[in-house]
Structure 1
Amino acid sequence: MADTVEETPGARFGFKDALRVGGVVFGGYLVLGLGLGILISSLGLPWWLAPLLSSLVYAGSVEFLLAGMIAASAPLASIAATTFLVNARHLVYGLSFPLENIRGFLPKFYGIYSLTDEQFALNAGPDSSTHSQGRLLWIGLLLHLSWISGSTLGAVVGASFLAGIKGMDFVMTALFIILAIEAYRAQKDNVSALLAVISAAVAMIFFPGSMLTVALLLYVLLLLVRHFFSNKRPRTVSTETLALGEPVQPTAGNLQDDAGEAPRA
């Protein structure tokens, strides 16, 4: 999805380009928003709560939790703690999301505010440094508008026609699965994929109540361990490097080989 439009230096990234890059995800947001609006109506909450949550909170799965907590008159401390734990994954998103490509206080503020899982999946990757400000803001804005439109529609008219449909709660999970497949196809890192599966399995077995937060923390920890050990590996010189005549930095292994090699005539 994210690589269907190639950006060239100086090219303007507009509305149509954003549709080509994330049109499927925008549609998914509409459907997810419908589910949120239907849930809000079924809980007996006022319809205007749907666009209010979607506009101000804009936190995806947290809004589904908030709707139930508001209906149950949960204390503010519980709401704040739940929101932080569920959205703790966003703490590590800024490490690889190209926010530095957005210039100006207000555009950068909205870029941070509109950073969601899908926005991250569409714009973070090996070529993220080349993504323009227009791409980041247009995709973020259209995702936001899709979410607001879907939730409002679901709250106003969706409850009357879609309340009996089963499987609406699986829509978000299905969207995450598609995004994960697309991310793997864009960068086939088998080791990282295996570490993600291990992290999810361990968290699901031992910490089912906080599965997402624990899985993300464990995944970050495993990535750090992998990075540490990969830097400890001795560098090897390929035959292609020697053939191109590129300079080779001396290492302990190279010096030992040279010292033990018999002089040539």
Structure 2
Amino acid sequence: MTELRERTPAPSGGELPPGATPRGEIATGIRLSFAAGLGMFPIGIAFGVLVMQTGLPWWTAPGLSIAVFAGSVELLLVGLMAAATPLATIALTVLLVNFRHVFYAFSFPLHVVKNPLARFYSVYALIDEAYAVTAASPGTWNRWRLIALQLAFQSYWVGGGLVGVAIASFLPGTIEGLEFALCALFITLTLDACRSRKQVPSLVLAGLSLGLSLVLVPDNALFAAMLGFVVLLIGRHLLERRRRKEAGDA
């Protein structure tokens, strides 16, 4: 019965489905967060430990997790802040890394949230995990279930960061290589995205962008590589659209 209710399409406008209650929908949202939350919590711990080992104040971990709430960006920001990176570079880097969220909004069920404050929070808390879970069961979301899911995800991340801060305070020394957590996260996401041959060209373009940036502008390789990758992806999209149009005309 519970599984059937979870998959029952919600009425248009995100109202409660027949027989459901707000408490039950909140519980469903929390339950649907468990699988992804099991991955978020340990990465949050690594983030908290990394903050302490970098020499930043302990409150940087919960502060970033509340002000930014974007795991990949937060891990990246720790290194940038520790290296005293210029603010303009940090801002543009964050924009490029999180630009994918613009496309998430096209199919994210934000329309079910009517309250302005709740709607603002849902936009703010639109992370990769929330998008993945909602995309797996489209048409079943209402405001109680969606907000509960997003609040649960942020709780896992903030809680993991605080646990990491506590663990780091008891460690006698530093853990070498912990900053690789960000790289490992992106490698995992890349491998997951490139399971089909259709996405291999994007991987090649990313490698080309990084290689050229390391040779041409080694001091700003990361920024240049991301910018170049965006340009190449746009070029690839336009080329594929042109090919599809020519194939349709033929």
Q: TM-score, normalised by structure 1?
A: 0.68
Alignment-mate amino acid for residue 113 of structure 2: I
Task: Report which stretch shifted further, 133-142 or 33-42.
Answer: 133-142
Structure 1, unaligned runs of 5 or more = 185-189, 235-265
Q: CA deviation at 1:50?
A: 0.8
Alignment-mate amino acid for residue 229 of structure 1: R
Please tell me whether residue 53 in structure 1 is matched to residue 64 in structure 2. yes
For the 8 Å contact 2:69–2:154, the answer to whether it is kept is yes
For the 8 Å contact 2:130–2:150, the answer to whether it is kept is yes
* Structure-to-structure mapping, 1:77-226, within 5 angstroms: 77-125=88-136, 127-158=137-168, 160-161=170-171, 163-164=174-175, 169-170=180-181, 173=184, 177=188, 193-207=196-210, 209=222, 225=240
Alignment-mate amino acid for residue 160 of structure 2: G
The separation in 2 between residues aligned to 1:145 and 1:43, in whole angstroms, is 23
| Seq. identity, % | 29
Which deviations, in whole Å up to 9, do the C-alpha atoms of 1:209-258 show, x marking residues without a partner?
Answer: 46666656766765674598389749xxxxxxxxxxxxxxxxxxxxxxxx
Of 39, 62, 73, the residue aligned with 2:84 is 73
Cα distance change of structure 1 residues 6 and 220 upon mapping to structure 2, 3 Å threshold: farther
The separation in 2 between residues aligned to 1:102 and 1:180, in whole angstroms, is 33
Cα distance change of structure 1 residues 87 and 8 upon mapping to structure 2, 3 Å threshold: closer
The CA RMSD over aligned residues, in Å, is 3.6
Task: Report which stretch shifted further, 225-234 or 88-97.
Answer: 225-234
Alignment-mate amino acid for residue 143 of structure 1: F
Q: CA deviation at 1:56?
A: 0.8
Please tell me whether residue 229 in structure 1 is matched to residue 230 in structure 2. no
Cα distance change of structure 1 residues 143 and 219 upon mapping to structure 2, 3 Å threshold: farther
The separation in 1 between residues aligned to 2:165 and 2:66, in whole angstroms, is 14
Structure whose CA Rg is larger: 1
Which deviations, in whole Å up to 9, do the C-alpha atoms of 1:52-88 show, x marking residues without a partner?
Answer: 1111111211111211222232222122112112112
The separation in 2 between residues aligned to 1:180 and 1:135, in whole angstroms, is 30
Q: CA deviation at 1:194?
A: 3.3
Residue 38 of structure 1 is matched in structure 2 by 49
Cα distance change of structure 1 residues 173 and 98 upon mapping to structure 2, 3 Å threshold: farther
The separation in 1 between residues aligned to 2:187 and 2:8, in whole angstroms, is 25
For the 8 Å contact 1:114–1:140, the answer to whether it is kept is yes
For the 8 Å contact 2:122–2:150, the answer to whether it is kept is yes
Task: Report which stretch shifted further, 9-18 or 70-79.
Answer: 9-18
Which deviations, in whole Å up to 9, do the C-alpha atoms of 1:173-198 show, x marking residues without a partner?
Answer: 469848986x99xxxxx9xx433332
The separation in 2 between residues aligned to 1:214 and 1:122, in whole angstroms, is 31
Cα distance change of structure 1 residues 174 and 52 upon mapping to structure 2, 3 Å threshold: closer
Cα distance change of structure 1 residues 178 and 78 upon mapping to structure 2, 3 Å threshold: closer
Cα distance change of structure 1 residues 148 and 92 upon mapping to structure 2, 3 Å threshold: same
Q: CA deviation at 1:207?
A: 3.5
Cα distance change of structure 1 residues 206 and 178 upon mapping to structure 2, 3 Å threshold: closer
Q: CA deviation at 1:140?
A: 0.9
Structure 2, unaligned runs of 5 or more = 11-16, 212-221
Cα distance change of structure 1 residues 178 and 112 upon mapping to structure 2, 3 Å threshold: same
Of 24, 27, 38, the residue aligned with 2:38 is 27
The separation in 1 between residues aligned to 2:182 and 2:140, in whole angstroms, is 31
